[in-house]
Amino acid sequence: MSLPFVDRSSSSLPVQFVAQPKWRAWLKEQSAARRGWIESTGVSGNAGDLVVVPGRDGKAAGAVLVSPAKPVLWDFGGLATRLPVGTWKFVSDPAPVSMTDAMVAIGLGTWKFDRYKAKKSKPGPRFVWPEGADKARATAMIEAISLARDLITTPSSDMGPAELAAAAQALGKAHKARVKVIVGDDLLKQNYPMVHAVGRASSRAPRLIDLVWGKESDPKVTLVGKGVCFDTGGLDLKPAAGMLNMKKDMGGAATVLAVASMVMAARLPVRLRVLVPAVENSVSGNAFRPLDVVPTRKGLSVEIGNTDAEGRLILCDALHEGASEKPGMMVDCATLTGAARVALGTDLPALFCNDDALADDLLAAGKAVTDPMWRMPLFQGYRRLLDSRVADLNNVSGGTFGGAITAALYLQAFVPDDVPWAHFDMMAWNNSSRPGRPEGGEAQAARAIFAAIEKRISNPT
pLDDT in tens, 379-412: 999 999 999 999 999 999 988 899 999 999 999 9
| Catalytic residue list contains 312 | yes
Q: What is the per-residue pLDDT across 284-343, written as a single tens digit (0 to 9) for each?
A: 999 999 999 999 999 999 999 999 999 999 999 999 999 999 999 999 999 999 999 999
Q: What is the per-residue pLDDT across 345-356, written as a single tens digit (0 to 9) for each?
A: 999 999 999 999
pLDDT at 335: 98
Band (pLDDT 50/70/90 cuts) for residue 56 is: confident
Alpha helices in 369-445 (DSSP H): 403-412
Q: What is the per-residue pLDDT across 172-188, written as a single tens digit (0 to 9) for each?
A: 999 999 999 999 999 99
**Catalytic-labelled residue, pool 271, 297, 312, 437:** 312
What ranges make up the beta strands (E) of 361-402?
374-375, 393-394
The percentage of residues in the chain with a pLDDT greater than 90, rounded to a whole number, is 92
Q: Which residues have C-beta within 8 Å of that of residue 429, sequence separation ≥ 6?
A: 152, 245, 248, 251, 346, 440, 441, 442
Query: What order of strands is seen across the sheet that includes strand 293-295?
Result: 293-295, 301-303, 393-394
pLDDT at 461: 62
For residues 380 and 290, what is the distance between their CA atoms, to the nearest angstrom? 25
Backbone angles phi, psi at 261, to 5 degrees: -60, -45
C-alpha pair distances (Å), 382 with each of 131, 194, 246, 388: 53, 23, 28, 13
**Catalytic-labelled residue, pool 238, 375, 383, 434:** 238
Task: Report whether 211 contacts 113 (CB < 8 A).
Answer: no
Q: What is the per-residue pLDDT across 192-218, written as a single tens digit (0 to 9) for each?
A: 999 999 999 999 999 999 999 999 999
Average pLDDT of the chain to the nearest whole number:
96
Q: Tell me: pLDDT of 167 over 70.
A: yes
Neighbours of 431 (CB within 10 A): 13
| Catalytic residue list contains 238 | yes
Q: What is the per-residue pLDDT across 60-99, written as a single tens digit (0 to 9) for each?
A: 899 999 999 999 999 999 999 999 999 999 999 999 999 9
Task: Report whether 252 contacts 426 (CB < 8 A).
Answer: yes
pLDDT at 258: 98
pLDDT at 240: 97
| Per-residue exposure over 9-38, b if at least 16 CB sit within 10 Å of its own CB, e if not | eeebbebebbbbeebeeebeeeeeebeebb
Q: Tell me: pLDDT of 55 over 90.
A: no
Neighbours of 269 (CB within 10 A): 12
* Geometric angle at alpha carbon 385, from 380 and 389, rounded to 5°: 125
pLDDT at 110: 95
